[in-house]
Chain A
Amino acid sequence: MYLFIVALTLLSGIAVGWSIGANDAANSLGTAVGSKVVSLRQAIVLIMLFGLMGALLQGSHVVATVGKGIVPIHKLDRNMGACVALVACFAACAWVALATYWKMPISTSHSIVGAVAGAGLAIHAPVNWYVMRDIFLCWVCTPLGAAIIGYSLYRILRWVVPKVLPDRYSQSVLSFLILSSGCYVAYTWGANDVANATGVVAGAGILTTDTSVMLGALAILLGIVTWGYKVIETIGTQITHLLPLMAFAVQLASAVNVHVYTLCGIPVSTSHSIVGAIFGVGLVRGMKVLNMRIMREIVVCWVATPFVSGVMSFVVLKSLVLFTRLNAIGAVQ
């Protein structure tokens, strides 16, 4: 039975990782592909390389928070820990799939955090509300921070670059800057998002932190090669229309922002960060960057996600406890 739960948990984690790879890889080098700084194939290789590096080198910070910080899954008995991990992964995965079907822009970070807390509440495990409060605050600060950094950075760059960069070098220097900042985005994305896929797997002691990070990273890579390339191409060639300097400012602002939270071990949405940075950079040019109606829909989805995935995991785990022999009371050792 334990092995069956473990297998299902790993599959759900891999599914979440696949979804992250398929959808969010485009946030890093999509613009570089669109501006033909790199080919699609080169972009995929770079995203995979830097995403993997980020996950392996700094992914463990956020894995610790998702796996042990919100609910001490490692302190539950083995079966219950595995069940919490399974239900949290399953609820996060199910909500991501439903949201994709309903065309809602949701964040996997929000989904997994809500799902872990919901599962903890279902078995009366101690949910660390201080950590939850910090995470919620960081979620609010993520787009705002990225917007402020993006705005400031672009203002400075717009003033400095024409003065210090001779015209004949501008093309190649800007291409290099776009490419390197895109790789930085991929790195921070891998470091922060790998925990969404397999953080709870490590928390439940199913795999060690390093192994779970490796598994999550591989699932993300699978998402990139099987589906992500289409998204990268569409985002780069059809949707984002950024001038090279803007693209650099957006990418750098978003990456710095996510990196700070990653070092603090906070799972944040890399999507929030990129949208915030685009907003900030657009503001410098006085552009009507975001349609208010669209913004409202995004905010509603972002706010609803942790609650919906939390309720889903709460209901599923509560039902499991009620209808099986799982002993919730006293499960915390």
Chain B
Amino acid sequence: MKEIRNILGWMGMAEARSILEDACKHVDEVSRTVMALAEAVSAFIKGDINGKIVAIENVRQSEHQADTIRARILDQLSEGLLLPTEHAEWIKLAKNIDKISDWTNSAARLLGFIEGGLTENVLKNMSRSTELIVESVKALGAAIQAMTKDDFTAALVACDNIDRLEHEADDQKKAMIEAVIRAKLEPTNLLLCYNLAEALEGVTDKIGSVGDLIKTLVIKTR
């Protein structure tokens, strides 16, 4: 479609560009959510309870902001007589980006219930899982930024990186669950840590879905 000079086609592409800019802001907000979760995990490992509470509250607020951006994008995509090209993919993209912050918020909520009593190995695995999320969300930011600059090769490279991190996160979830089981935790912590391992992997999984959608959009629009 990029060879088009037709005014309606051009307006469709301009709408898509406008949505992409909003998607960038959405990813920025989601990144802030993830960074706040990483701060919460770090504070928890250091035993800084207040720091953990503040960071979890930041996750919640940031997730709320991300929801607002998602609503705005969906409004833009549903009203009007001229819609962007690949309309369905843009809707999926907005919804999937938002799921990242939803899952991050779930993970933060679970972390909030854990008060301590975890083994060194569980904490090490929790930290590694969070690092993978941070790396993934950075790769996602790089992918979407590359898209805005029409640098499709860089976008695809970043998406491949997201893919690799997603596989690593799968293995990491297994390692964390193993550590949780071997730690012989009391039932409440066992349940919370198990669900936290699922939630942390869920975040990278959602980032992976967004990466796949970006790949589709890149292939269709380049």
A282–B1 CA distance with the chains assembled, in angstroms: 25
What is the CB-to-nearest-CB distance from B25 to chain A, in angstroms, rounded to a whole number? 15
Across-interface contacts of A298 in B (CB, < 8 A):
7, 10-11
Which residue among B2, B4, B15, B85 has the maximum number of chain A CB atoms within 10 Å of its CB? B4
Judged by a CB distance under 8 angstroms, whether A86 is at the interface is no
Which B residue's beta carbon lies closest to that of A278? Answer: B81
Across-interface contacts of B12 in A (CB, < 8 A):
234-235, 238-239
Judged by a CB distance under 8 angstroms, whether B181 is at the interface is no
What is the 8 Å Cβ interface bit string for chain A, positions 97-134, against chain B (1 contact, 0 not)? Answer: 00110011110000000000000000000000000000
Judged by a CB distance under 8 angstroms, whether A19 is at the interface is yes
Judged by a CB distance under 8 angstroms, whether B51 is at the interface is no
A246–B10 CA distance with the chains assembled, in angstroms: 21
Question: Which of the four size classes fits the interface of chain A?
Answer: 35 or more
Find A293's partner among B1, B18, B82, B83 (CB 8 Å cutoff).
Answer: B18
Q: B6 and A26: CB pair below 8 A?
A: yes
Judged by a CB distance under 8 angstroms, whether B79 is at the interface is yes
What is the CB-to-nearest-CB distance from A222 to chain B, in angstroms, rounded to a whole number? 16
Find B6's partner among A24, A104, A282 (CB 8 Å cutoff).
Answer: A24
Q: B4 and A23: CB pair below 8 A?
A: yes
Judged by a CB distance under 8 angstroms, whether A291 is at the interface is yes
Across-interface contacts of A106 in B (CB, < 8 A):
5
What is the 8 Å Cβ interface bit string for chain A, positions 221-259, against chain B (1 contact, 0 not)? Answer: 000000000010011001111100010000000000000
Across-interface contacts of B10 in A (CB, < 8 A):
103-105, 298
A282–B4 CA distance with the chains assembled, in angstroms: 24
Q: B2 and A103: CB pair below 8 A?
A: yes
Q: A289 and B81: CB pair below 8 A?
A: yes
Q: A19 and B80: CB pair below 8 A?
A: no
Q: B5 and A19: CB pair below 8 A?
A: yes
Q: B85 and A234: CB pair below 8 A?
A: yes
A30–B87 CA distance with the chains assembled, in angstroms: 17
Which A residue's beta carbon lies closest to that of B17? Answer: A294
A133–B81 CA distance with the chains assembled, in angstroms: 33
Which A residue's beta carbon lies closest to that of B88? Answer: A238
A-contacting residues, B1-38, CB 8 Å? 1-15, 18
Judged by a CB distance under 8 angstroms, whether B135 is at the interface is no
Find B11's partner among A96, A234, A246, A275 (CB 8 Å cutoff).
Answer: A275
What is the CB-to-nearest-CB distance from B72 to chain A, in angstroms, rounded to a whole number? 12
Q: A240 and B7: CB pair below 8 A?
A: no
Judged by a CB distance under 8 angstroms, whether A325 is at the interface is no
Judged by a CB distance under 8 angstroms, whether A287 is at the interface is yes
A100–B7 CA distance with the chains assembled, in angstroms: 11
Which B residue's beta carbon lies closest to that of A297? Answer: B14
Across-interface contacts of B83 in A (CB, < 8 A):
238-239, 241
From known contacts A26-B6, A238-B12, infer whether A288 and B79 are also in contact, taking CB-CB under 8 Å.
yes
Judged by a CB distance under 8 angstroms, whether A212 is at the interface is no
What is the CB-to-nearest-CB distance from A211 to chain B, in angstroms, rounded to a whole number? 27
B-contacting residues, A8-50, CB 8 Å? 19, 23-24, 26-27, 30
Q: A105 and B11: CB pair below 8 A?
A: yes
Q: A291 and B15: CB pair below 8 A?
A: yes
Across-interface contacts of A30 in B (CB, < 8 A):
8
Across-interface contacts of A147 in B (CB, < 8 A):
none
Judged by a CB distance under 8 angstroms, whether A271 is at the interface is yes
Judged by a CB distance under 8 angstroms, whether A281 is at the interface is yes
Q: B5 and A96: CB pair below 8 A?
A: yes
Across-interface contacts of A231 in B (CB, < 8 A):
4, 6, 9
Across-interface contacts of B7 in A (CB, < 8 A):
27, 105, 271-272, 274-275, 298
Across-interface contacts of A103 in B (CB, < 8 A):
2, 10, 13
Q: B5 and A105: CB pair below 8 A?
A: yes
Across-interface contacts of A23 in B (CB, < 8 A):
4-6, 9
Please give the residue numbers on chain B whose beta carbons come within 8 Å of chain A beta carbons, in ascending order.
1-15, 18, 79-87
**Additional 7 contacts, C-beta under 8 A, given A234-B9, A241-B83, A282-B81:** A27-B6, A30-B8, A105-B10, A231-B4, A241-B81, A271-B7, A291-B18
Give 19 CB contacts A-B under 8 Å. A23-B4, A27-B8, A96-B5, A100-B5, A105-B11, A234-B12, A235-B9, A238-B83, A238-B85, A238-B86, A240-B8, A240-B82, A242-B81, A272-B7, A278-B81, A287-B80, A287-B81, A289-B80, A290-B82
Please give the residue numbers on chain A whose beta carbons come within 8 Å of chain B beta carbons, in ascending order.
19, 23-24, 26-27, 30, 96, 99-100, 103-106, 231, 234-235, 238-242, 246, 271-272, 274-275, 278, 281-282, 287-291, 293-294, 297-298
